[in-house]
Amino acid sequence: MKLLIYVWEGVKIAYEALRSYKLRSVLTTLGIVIGVTTVITIVALIQGLNKAFTSQISALGSDILYIDKFPWMMEGNTFWVYRNRKNITLRDAERVAELSTLAEAVAPTLMTRRPIKYQENQVEGAIIVGTTELYLVTSNVVPEFGRFLTANDVSHHRPVVVLGSEVAEKLFPHSDPLGKRVTIGGYKFRVIGIQEKRGSFFGNNLDTYAYLPIGAFQARFGAQFRSVEIEIKVQSPELLDEAELELTGIMRRIRGLSGNAENDFAINKQDMLQDTYQRLTGTLWAVAIGVGAISLLVGGIGIMNILLVSVTERTREIGIRKAIGAQRSDILLQFLIESMMICALGVFIGIALAVALAKGIAAATPLPASITWWVAFLGLGFVVTIGLFFGIYPAGKAARLNPIEALRYE
Amino acid sequence: MLIQLQDISKNYQIGTVSVTALKSIHMTIERNEYVAIMGPSGSGKSTLMNILGCLDTPSGGSYLLNNTNVSDMNDDQLAEIRNREIGFVFQTFNLLPRANALHNVELPLIYNGTPASKRRSQAMEALEKVGLGDRVHHKPSELSGGQRQRVAIARALVNNPSIILADEPTGNLDSKTGDEIMEIFETLHEAGNTIILVTHEEYIAEHSDRIVRLRDGLIERDEATNGHV
């Protein structure tokens, strides 16, 4: 109860003091404002990126393994080492499917870029994927109209195609594509299905894809110099690590690697992207925290400075308060509250600016920035920490003033 | 016995030189006395006032206030004693410039944790006693010198202290206003308060019942005034 009275009195005194020196108070908070704005904006950006990344990466599926010639993340100049590896073949994919006990579905894929034409309309650089009916399982690709490739299409190497939604829209602006014959890289294919809209994956428009039976793909676009990517859906996400081990063993057997030879293939997964992403944003975090910490430090020193001025200016007031019974702790509390209130003012302005900035960034650039409830806690943390840390010295100085000398101070 | 000073001395260290402000003071003050402390500058009267007001502690001797030895209390204990036992009235009023009269008078009550509503009523009562019931929301800058000193007196009274300690209370006032302030002290004395007045003006000291004259850190004379007792 007594403490409550002191705190409330402290708040009133600090409010009066801040009000009497409006310009000075606002200028003092500038450092804090800049620091808080920086930290919160960058944190908001990172959070936005995280959200975007998570939703992007979910397109890959957490229970899918990808066997490739190249690892997704290469360090330094190692590309040339991987390039000399033996291509992964369709036969490899078939053996993997035969031998793996943990795979639910195995789909080999080949990719190339070719223009797709229908009468006058053309889509340049569409991504042509040769695969099997199991691609439906490994990639979550669902046709919106018609159907996906069937086992029959695949085994008979039928010249059929499933179009991505954007390809279909561009080629057939006014008519039904199903059953029509499109020309892909000079070869005719009959449209059997159209995929639902998928959006983009790290800048790749997933709706400009077209899917063919892999045999038909190889017959027309060549098989010899292409390495197959084998997509494996594992029976459950918990079995991912075990499946990776199993697949490594199978691939080594298939490719006839001796006991101590290095793998000549890579097993990729969603996690690898996540790890790389976290490494990258980790650096960003460090920079944000560094910049923010420096501004906050400068801001804190500003607060300390102005409080020291304030203590000197109000020496007489402190003397009066002490003469009529204020204890050291009362004076200490009073100036700490004042310190925290200046800080709170800065944090408040900083948060307001950061929110505006994040909205602006989100509106003006493709970078998503999101600010949520955590800002309030972060702000409170700043207020208490900075306010106490930089307020304690001036407040202590005020508390220790000798009342007789303070009363005599002009 | 309200105040008992025994062999009080006070030395200050100024650089390497030790200055003796009080040599040996023996004095007792009873409840409801009205005492003036007089002396030329350098006589030690400010030092004595600071010790009596518990703003400072003596270098030697003992000071019993209400049978409590306050001579070797620490800062916070002294602050508590000041808050409870002593009401100060200063020459320069020493009001908080940004606070209104009511808040200035409430101040001692804030530091002993009196709840807001009680604080307000007690402060109002004290302001009415000094005839400022209609000026409670004025800031010091909006009040005359005499009115400011009355606010200060109200602040000194509000906590019902054992002693009202007034240091040259009329020093910054014209003589007419000074007389009015002295009348208030008179009234307070009649109402049962103990008043200690520090002054160098003979005619101000004449208002008291007893004058203690200091010289060179010693009590030179301690006698009842004419017309009183």
Q: Using a CB-CB distance cutoff of 8 angstroms, which residues of chain A are in contact with residue B99?
A: 16
Q: Looking at the predicted structure, is the pLDDT value of residue B229 above 50?
A: no
Candidate from A39-53, A91-105, A217-231, A239-253 with smallest mean pLDDT:
A39-53
Q: Using a CB-CB distance cutoff of 8 angstroms, which residues of chain B are in contact with residue A323?
A: 53, 55, 82, 88, 94
Query: For residue B90, is it within any domain?
Result: yes
Query: For residue B10, is it within any domain?
Result: no
Q: Kindly report the average pLDDT of chain B as a whole number.
A: 92
Residue B104 is part of a domain; what is its CATH number? 3.40.50.300
Structurally, chain B folds into a number of domains equal to 1
pLDDT tens string A245-264: 999 999 999 999 888 888 88
**Interchain contact, B79 vs A319, CB within 8 Å:** no
**Interchain contact, B115 vs A6, CB within 8 Å:** no
Query: For residue B7, is it within any domain?
Result: no
pLDDT band for A1, please (50, 70, 90 cuts): low
Residue in chain B closest to A10 (alpha carbons) equals: B110
Question: How high is the ipTM of this complex?
Answer: 0.93
Query: For residue B70, is it within any domain?
Result: no
CA of A314 vs chain B CAs: smallest distance (Å): 10
Query: For residue B4, is it within any domain?
Result: no
Query: For residue B209, is it within any domain?
Result: yes
Candidate from A17-21, A301-305, B43-47, B112-116 with smallest mean pLDDT:
A17-21
Candidate from A16, A325, A403 with C-beta closest to B112:
A325
The A-side interface with B (CB below 8 A) comprises: 1-2, 5-6, 9, 16-17, 20, 316-317, 319-330, 403-404, 407
Q: What percent of chain A has pLDDT over 90?
A: 46
Residue in chain A closest to B111 (alpha carbons) equals: A326
pLDDT tens string A145-170: 999 999 999 999 999 999 999 999 99
Residue A304's alpha-carbon distances to A14, A87, A190, in angstroms, are: 15, 67, 76
Q: Using a CB-CB distance cutoff of 8 angstroms, which residues of chain B are in contact with residue A329?
A: 76
Query: For residue B22, is it within any domain?
Result: no
Query: For residue B146, is it within any domain?
Result: yes
When scoring A1, A9, A324, A402 by the number of chain B Cβ atoms within 10 A, the one with the most, hence best to mutate, is A324
Mean pLDDT to the nearest integer, B99-114: 92
Q: Using a CB-CB distance cutoff of 8 angstroms, which residues of chain B are in contact with residue A324?
A: 82-83, 88, 107-108, 111, 155
pLDDT band for A276, please (50, 70, 90 cuts): confident
Mean pLDDT to the nearest integer, A307-333: 93
Identify the domain containing residue B194 by its residue range: 33-60+75-224
